[in-house]
Amino acid sequence: MQLVNHFKNTFTNIIKDTSLMSRKTRIQWNNSDKQQMANRMSNKSIEVDTYNVNSNGTNNKSVNSDLYQAVFPIYYLSKLSGVFPTRFVGQISGRYQGRLSVIDSIYSVCLLVSLISAEIWGFWRDLRDGWEHSTRLKSQNAIIVTTSDVMGIMSLTASSIIGSILCWKHVRTIIDKLVDDTALRIKYRSAPHYFLPPRSSPPRSHANTYVCASCDEKLGIVSPKKIRRYTILLTLCSLLYSIIISCLDIYIWNYETKLNRKLNDKGPINYVPLYFMYIVIIMMEVQYAVIVYNVSQRFCRLNKNLENIFNSGRITDQFKKDLGLACNDLNLNKCYPRHDPEQHSRGFSRRSNNLHGKSFTDNISQLMTVHASLCDTVMLINTAYGVVALMITITCLIHLIITPYFLIMEADGKREPLFLAVQGLWCIFHIWRLFMIVQPTYAATTQGKKTTVLISQLLTMSSNKESRKQLEIFSLQLLHRPLEFSACGLFTLDRTLVTSIAGAVTTYLVILIQFQKEDDTKDNFDNILKNATQMLKNASTLHNFSAGR
């Protein structure tokens, strides 16, 4: 009888506890729904034009992702140059979101129209009295070459500004994938229980916010300070070099105008808008280089994780810290308690091997997800910046033909040494512009090839059936999704592009110099014929005069 009463009381307590727990859970869900509804109704979003979003420094540090921190050093410069009409918006959850600003878009279009109109007016001002009175346009060949130079710069500026407005959604998706999507996939599928939201949390959409609030800091893909240093150094070096060489170029052409006593409206002021266009171009190239550099750093960390697996044959502590895949040691001991080794050595060894094989398979699966997300990011980069990359390559090719051509033609001892030095600096500047888009893509492609090598090495050393199956799937993904940066699909962006451009520049330079020599020879031959004809006329006149006497 006592036993029956005991079971009855126990069953009653269980029912009460269950009802109390369900009531608490319902209250928490209702509170969460009310909070979510209040947030939706208030729809608070703060436009961020300062670095600190929250007053709390700890929350700020966890909210700011590495890519946003990398963009902030060039944020205002890009907006000032008109190539970043997107504003960062701080959400209630603490995350950043990019939105197209109508004011910034109007400013970008007005800046583009002003620069192009000013340059067209300056070019007409330089040619309206004929090329004979111009400082730069001293011959018909110079007119053709300078016109192609000006048209190339204006086209690249227009494609940079208009492309930044039309493709802003692609850029936002790229940033979201690098910052949130990759981390979210890894965290949600493999994070330990202390990283996941509690069971009484709101639905999945709210849980996503919880997980992604500090995803970059937990994921630890790259160092924000390293990205910031790279961005600042690249921006400062490029802008300072461009400004210095522009000032030297204005000074030397102004000196040539005064030396040759040209008209007042034939000076370098007619080409000042070109120098401002170079700043716009530089900021667009810096933006492209920073995004590709972020992709390269993520591939680098992916390869480090694969190297850790390959070198140790198990999940290393660094791999745990990077991806947060396994339980901590305390939870591991709770899940798999240690017993007497003499009694349970065989069973414990079997369970450890099962745990290792399962963890290895899970790790490879998560890295496959990271690799797939990075490949999607590369495709978005090719879509968003394909036209800009094509125009950058074409303008670099044109300038690397025109600038050495002028340097060779003017190196006759009549020019000032400073003029030749400035032309040489312009050649270095255009080579630097080319490497700004080639080197980051080459580094990312190299890391992608390294991933293929590491997966093949892991495949050869793996003996577990499930692990080999997962590695084979990864190798198929690497085979069918090669990493490639391209300019509208016309050519790949890597170091081989430098050798191709070098060969094209050499060929066209030889052709231009040969044409110039033929023109000079033809002019000399015409002068000889004119002199000979004049001498014959003089001799005939003298003979007739002598015969008449």
pLDDT tens figures, 507-547: 888 887 777 665 555 555 445 445 545 554 555 555 554 55
C-alpha 385/C-alpha 164 separation (Å) is 9
Burial class (CB in 10 A: 0-12, 13-18, 19+), 276: middle
Residue carrying the six token digits 């008109």: 82
Dihedral angle computed from the Cα positions of residues 411, 416, 421 and 423, in that order, rounded to the nearest 10 degrees: -60
381-432 pLDDT tens trace: 999 999 999 999 999 999 998 888 888 877 766 667 888 888 899 999 999 9
What are residue 503's phi and psi, to 5 degrees?
Answer: -65, -40
Q: Residue 405 has which token pair?
A: 């051509």
Least confident of 23-32, 161-170, 339-348: 339-348
- Tally of residues, the chain: 549
pLDDT at position 202 is: 39
pLDDT at position 5 is: 57
pLDDT at position 96 is: 66
Q: Residue 465 has which token pair?
A: 């059936």
Give the contacts of 87 (CB within 8 A, at least 6 positions apart): 47, 48, 49, 98, 99, 100, 101, 104
pLDDT at position 153 is: 92
> Is the model's pLDDT at 160 over the cut of 80?
yes
pLDDT at position 46 is: 39
Q: Contact, 328 vs 192, CB < 8 A?
A: yes
pTM for the complete prediction? 0.71
- The mean pLDDT value for 253-267 works out to 72
C-alpha 129/C-alpha 122 separation (Å) is 13
Mean pLDDT, rounded, of the chain? 71
The share of the chain scoring above pLDDT 70, in percent, equals 58
Nearest to 434 by CA among 503, 506, 504, 502: 502
36-80 pLDDT tens trace: 445 444 444 434 443 333 334 444 343 345 556 656 778 888 889
Spans of all domains in the chain: 86-188+209-322+358-493, 502-535
> Is the model's pLDDT at 166 over the cut of 60?
yes
Distance of CA 12 to the CA centre of its chain: 64
C-alpha 193/C-alpha 240 separation (Å) is 50
Q: Contact, 227 vs 70, CB < 8 A?
A: yes
> Is the model's pLDDT at 257 over the cut of 70?
yes
C-alpha 401/C-alpha 507 separation (Å) is 9
The share of the chain scoring above pLDDT 90, in percent, equals 22
188-213 pLDDT tens trace: 344 433 333 333 333 333 333 333 33
C-alpha 247/C-alpha 243 separation (Å) is 6
Q: Return the biggest CA–CA distance within the chain.
A: 167
421-431 pLDDT tens trace: 888 999 999 99
- The mean pLDDT value for 151-166 works out to 92
The strand pairing partners of 90, in sequence order, are 46, 96
DSSP 93: T
